[in-house]
Amino acid sequence: MALQVKHKITPNNSTRSTVLTETTGVYSSTNPTGYGATQIPTGFREIVDILNSNLQVLSVNGTVTFNGGSTPTVIDSVYSTSYNNTVAQAIAAGTSQIVDLGTLIPNEYIDGIYKSYYYNWFTGQGTVSTGTGSTLIVSDPTEFAIGNYIVIMLVNIPYSYEIIGVDPNSYTITVNGTVPVELTAAESYKVGYTSISYFANTYAINKCLHDRVAKLAISSCTCDNKCTEKLYEAVMLYMSIQPNMDLGKYQKAQDIIEYLTNYCNDGCCNC
């Protein structure tokens, strides 16, 4: 096994803030994908080797693409931030970070399913030079066997790519984009490892359902049975969001949230 960065974002529906936690851990016999000196390249994949890290939060179908630009192309971004080596290493060691998405202006953090990318960067330990088209010639292809991204510095300009193939026999890697023809083996680079996770924000729906259940319990409202039955259905659908998330059915969970948002906006009998 090799290093595999893992993270999760836990929303707090009472404050609309979220908590970023890295769950990669340290290498052991029971955690073979954790940070450790024995990971490839040997001696350079420990927590203290992390250069920096980035967090991107997007809508459920958002994407982050590294295809040769100085920065990645991000579609449907909601929030992004970066952490220096000190903070990134602390996160990797288990220190959680509060990410307050509830303060976004304009208010983009509405109820819905969100996709998050978290990636750590390490200094490249070999050399890279121009191959043909989308190919880079590298001194140690094993360094890229698990890495997801490479950022190459050329005259102080970064070129960022997704690694889409590694050929250890020809000492080459294939990237998503065309590499600069001027690239020489003297240029520096860094390798990124990414983690993708999803989370559900249901702040407004949660508040709506609590209010409606409370009114049913304490008021003398004479709503007909249809309204009461619809509320029961809404509560059951709300309870199904997390099971769908656990099963990786993110679009279904998003559809449920949209349905419940419409339900909460219809003011059924004001109960």
The average confidence (pLDDT) of the chain is 91
Among the candidates 149, 174, 201, a domain finishes at 201
Q: Residue 267: pLDDT above 70?
A: no
Convert the pLDDT of each residue in 148-178 to its tens digit. 999 999 888 899 999 999 999 999 999 999 9
pLDDT of residue 187: 81
Query: Is residue 150 domain-shared with residue 36, that is, in the same domain?
Result: no
State the residue range of the domain holding 184: 128-191
Q: Residue 14: pLDDT above 60?
A: yes
pLDDT of residue 192: 97
Beta strand segments in the chain, E: 7-12, 17-22, 50-65, 73-83, 97-99, 112-123, 128-130, 135-138, 149-154, 157-167, 172-175, 189-201
What percent of the chain shows pLDDT beyond 90?
75
50-65 and 112-123: which strand pairing?
antiparallel
Q: Which residue in 196, 58, 51, 152 sits closest to 114, CA to CA?
A: 58
Whether 240 is in a domain gets the answer: yes
CATH code of the domain containing 76: 2.60.40
Structure tokens at 112: 């819905």
Among the candidates 145, 169, 201, a domain finishes at 201
Query: Is residue 75 domain-shared with residue 197, that is, in the same domain?
Result: yes
Query: Is residue 153 domain-shared with residue 33, that is, in the same domain?
Result: no
Whether 94 is in a domain gets the answer: yes
Q: Average the pLDDT over each of 72-76, 88-92, 101-105 and give the range with the smallest value.
A: 101-105
Answer with the residue of higher pLDDT: 213 or 235: 235
Query: Is residue 181 domain-shared with residue 209, that is, in the same domain?
Result: no
**Per-residue confidence at 92, pLDDT binned at 50, 70, 90?**
very high
- Tell me if 97 sits within 8 A of 17, measured CB to CB: no
Instruction: Please state the domain count of the chain.
Output: 3
Q: Residue 5: pLDDT above 90?
A: yes
228: Cβ–Cβ under 8 A, 6 or more apart, which residues? Answer: 216, 271
Query: Is residue 149 domain-shared with residue 248, that is, in the same domain?
Result: no
Convert the pLDDT of each residue in 227-249 to its tens digit. 888 999 999 999 999 999 999 99
pLDDT of residue 59: 94
Query: Is residue 17 domain-shared with residue 113, that is, in the same domain?
Result: yes
Query: Is residue 168 domain-shared with residue 39, that is, in the same domain?
Result: no
Residue 135, amino acid: T
Whether 1 is in a domain gets the answer: no
For the residues 55-70, what does the mean pLDDT come to?
Answer: 95
Question: pTM of the full predicted structure?
Answer: 0.90
Whether 215 is in a domain gets the answer: yes
Query: Is residue 172 domain-shared with residue 263, that is, in the same domain?
Result: no
Q: Which residue in 97, 144, 89 sits closest to 116, CA to CA?
A: 97
